[in-house]
Amino acid sequence: MTETHATGKYPPGRYGRRREHRPRRTWLVVLLAAVAGVAGVLIAVKLFQQYGPQEYEPQVQRFYAISDDGITVDFVVRKDASKEATCRVRARSASGEEVGLAEVDVPKGAEAPVTYRLATSARPVTVEVPACGPRRIR
C-alpha cells in the first residue's frame, strides 16, 4: 500500500498518488499575450495600408445612352488636385460577363468629372469604375 497526500475529500490510497502543487507560470501567459498583441497591431497596420483611405477614389454618377455596342458613363475621381489619373472603366452584360473595358485618363483637379463613351461587344446593363491610379504614359 502506498501513502498518499490526500485531502479530506479523497480517501487515502483510492485514487493513487496526487501531484504536488506547481506554481503557475504567469510570465508565460503575459509573454504569449504580448506576442499576440504585437502581432495583432502589425496585422492591423498592414491591412490599413492596403485597404485604408485611397489616394484615388472614383465614383460613378450615372450611365446612359445604352445601346448594343456601347454605354456612356459620367464619373468623378476624388484625388489630389495637382495629380492626373488613369481609371479602368468596365461594362457588364445582364449575365455578368465583361463586355467592355478601357483605361481612361483623368485631368488634374480635386474632383475631376469625366464623361466617357465605352464601346462594348454586346448590350451592357451596367458600368463600373473599379480602380484608378497614377496616370500611365502610353
DSSP label at 58? E
pLDDT bracket for residue 67 (50, 70, 90): very high
* 28-64 per-position pLDDT tens digit: 889 999 999 999 999 999 888 877 667 888 999 999 9
For residue 52, give the DSSP letter. S
pLDDT at 50: 77
C-beta of residue 131 within 8 angstroms of C-beta of residue 90: no
State mean pLDDT over 113-127. Answer: 95
pLDDT digits (tens, 9 = 90+) for 1-14: 555 555 566 666 66
What's the predicted TM-score (pTM) here? 0.60
Query: Which residues, in sequence order, are CB contacts of 110 under 8 Å at separation 6+?
Result: 78, 79, 80, 81
